[in-house]
Structure 1
Amino acid sequence: MNLIWQAYLQNCRAIIRDGRVVSYGNAPAELANTRAASTGSATVLSDLSHFGLIQFSGGDAQSFLQGQLSCDVRQVSSSAALYGSYCNPKGRMLASFLIWRDRDGDDGNFVMQLPSALLAAIQKRLSMYVLRAKVNLFDSSGMWVRMGLAGSGAGPLVQQVTGGIPDSHLGVIHGEHASVIRLAQDRFELIVAPEHASSIAERLSRDAMPVGAPCWDWLEIKAGIPLITPATQEQFVPQMANLDAIGGISFQKGCYPGQEIVSRTQYLGKIKRRMYLANIKPTGPEIPIEAGDELFSADMGEQSSGMVVNAAASPDGGYDVLAVVQISSVGAGKIYWKSLNGPALEIMPLPYKVSQ
């Protein structure tokens, strides 16, 4: 987290732990307002410094990334972002990310956003494959402040700050002091230079309630956007986490690590697990539900039938989760958290279609 920006957040009463804004002192109210924002009756503002940025530049940046990532990097431009994944040779995801080009995108500059906890290892691994390619990659997290804006007033506020607004899903525009990515109809990410961040945040917070990162986590879960973390690395092929449904896999591009497995899974119809949106209400003492928690079902006996990908406290009680689960188990009956005696998952509809 940029130190000047951190000082500003602390001055705004932000509670920061491990580079992540936990809350502004009233987490229940922040979550309630985030729920209202999801239905279009409020607007919230979240710091996104818990995500890191890897910058790629050089004449071979596009071709290098095209040979490493599951998405079609040729579709990433200064006006369009993409979701994607980076896999090991067995097709298991090491990271999921959002990638875009900066305002100098025509010169080959790409920006990959992923959890800060994964950044160093992913940067090091990608660096090993640069070889003679004209590519420079470095951690640019401190060069930019990221803010998430969601709710009924998000669009007009973006218009005021940047002078424009992206028309399409994952569209990007670059204003004088901020770039913006449209993540959904009423949800945006702003990328701002540190010297302008506090003034822009002051303007936004007049009409948007500042909320902690857990609230943004909840919005991402409700949107069905998976985030690979250290607890879930190398657990899923991209289709299991619905990357194909959100544009994070290209089946027409050339080779990349794990491509053969990913393609075979797709064309031979061997997708046995898919990601579902669900709510879990633990019973008894409050025990947090976390990424990496195993799930069980009667048809699988003592063998795990799934895993929690992401979890966040729900404004309706318990936790809302994204969970990769055996498709047959979902059809056969209840899925349970941690054991067959644990609380059952209440499956909810995702905001997009997924082929079974």
Structure 2
Amino acid sequence: MNPQWRSFLESAQGHFDGNSTELLNFGDAAGELQAARQQTVVVPLTHLALIEATGEDAKAFLHSQFTSDINHLGANQVQHAGWCTAKGRMQASFLAWRQNERYLLALSADLQEASQKRLQMFVLRSKVRLATLTDSTIMLGLAGPQAEEALAESGLPCPASPMITDQQGEITVMRLDGTRFAVLAPASAGEALWQKVVGKARPAGTAAWRWLDIQAAYPLVTLATKEEFVPQMADFEKIGGVSFHKGCYPGQEVVARTQYLGKVKRHLFRLTSQQALKAGDVLHSPDNPDQSCGMVMTAAPSPAGGYEALAVVQSNFSANVRLGSLDGPPVQAAAVNP
């Protein structure tokens, strides 16, 4: 994370969790959550990192590593992509898009260093250069009924469709869904951009964006859930994150066999709980005492009180889920894609 950007956010009343990149709030965590539900918010996406892949072999290299079809990723298109182990378990998930001949990959910040280092191991003689842009680029999340107006008043373009980017000079705007956008800008432009956007959007911490991710059913892999899930367990194929028509990639045989044999018993669920939830929390069911029945992927406090989360849960035990142990507090689970 760019240290000047962090210092600026702190001067704007942003509170971080110690030395981590987790931006807790701007002084009113509860009010920020309510604003995320009803108003327009701007959230520094400090929990994400950015990797750039360039070189004449960049497209072929990424296509050979990821679960999605990078070969047919059009200019300014965005798609979900997973990166699996040989056993088909997701070790990272990305938002991937192309700008001219370079490829950009947004992922959980706690996976960036290890993921980039491991990707580099597979480059071998390919003409590919991987670079970290996290220190030179800032990312803002913008969400709510006035998000498009905030972009317009900031002199920024508004992509017409989800999973499309548009550019204004060195600034890129990505529409994630109907009312959510990600804005990427050089770190040197961060302060000026922030001052423009906050005229229409209330600053909010990372928890507000995670809550919005939960509403959008966006399954982000983090360090706490690394190598825990086959893509279909997180319904990753339902958001375009898996191609079953491309060539080989790490774990491809496992992913394909899982799909065509129809043996996926675990899927993505939304959880509600009065107890605090966090990524990596293990779930159990008294109806299945021999093993756990799921794991939390991402969680946040709820504007309605309590907590909400996305979790991978074994479907036939979802009616009786407990947090942490067989006699732990009950958790309500509802299938994202029933």
State the TM-score bracket (shorter-chain normalisation). Answer: over 0.9
Cα distance change on mapping 1:322 and 1:68 into 2, 3 Å: same
Alignment of 1:267 onto 2:260 = yes
Alignment partners' CA distance in 2, 1:75 and 1:144: 26
1:39 aligned partner: none
How many Å apart are 1:159 and its aligned residue?
A: 2.8
**Equivalent in 334, 337, 349 of residue 320 of structure 2:** 334
What do the CA deviations read for 1:152-211 (whole angstroms, capped 9, x no partner)? Answer: 000122233354211111111011242111011010000011222111111110111000
- Indicate if the aligned counterparts of 1:145 and 1:192 stay in contact, CA closer than 8 A: yes
Letter in 1 for 2:61: F
**Equivalent in 77, 88, 98 of residue 74 of structure 2:** 77
Alignment of 1:179 onto 2:172 = yes
1:20 aligned partner: 22
Alignment partners' CA distance in 2, 1:116 and 1:163: 26
Alignment partners' CA distance in 1, 2:115 and 2:301: 28
Letter in 2 for 1:11: S
Alignment partners' CA distance in 1, 2:325 and 2:7: 44
2:137 aligned partner: 144
Alignment of 1:9 onto 2:2 = no
Letter in 1 for 2:28: N
Alignment of 1:316 onto 2:318 = no
Alignment of 1:156 onto 2:149 = yes
- Indicate if the aligned counterparts of 2:267 and 2:315 stay in contact, CA closer than 8 A: yes
1:307 aligned partner: 295
- Indicate if the aligned counterparts of 1:162 and 1:176 stay in contact, CA closer than 8 A: no
Alignment of 1:232 onto 2:220 = no
Cα distance change on mapping 1:227 and 1:314 into 2, 3 Å: same
- Indicate if the aligned counterparts of 1:226 and 1:322 stay in contact, CA closer than 8 A: yes
Letter in 2 for 1:264: R
Alignment partners' CA distance in 1, 2:155 and 2:75: 15
**Equivalent in 92, 102, 106 of residue 100 of structure 2:** 106
Letter in 1 for 2:21: G
- Indicate if the aligned counterparts of 1:54 and 1:141 stay in contact, CA closer than 8 A: yes
2:46 aligned partner: 49
CA RMSD of aligned residues (A): 1.4
User: What SS does the corresponding residue of 2:225 show, helix, strand or coil?
Assistant: coil
Letter in 2 for 1:316: A
How many Å apart are 1:48 and its aligned residue?
A: 0.7
Alignment partners' CA distance in 1, 2:157 and 2:279: 37
User: What SS does the corresponding residue of 1:298 show, helix, strand or coil?
Assistant: coil
TM-score by length of structure 2 reads 0.96
- Indicate if the aligned counterparts of 1:78 and 1:173 stay in contact, CA closer than 8 A: no
Alignment partners' CA distance in 1, 2:103 and 2:174: 14
**Stretches of structure 2 lacking an aligned partner (at least 5 in a row):** none
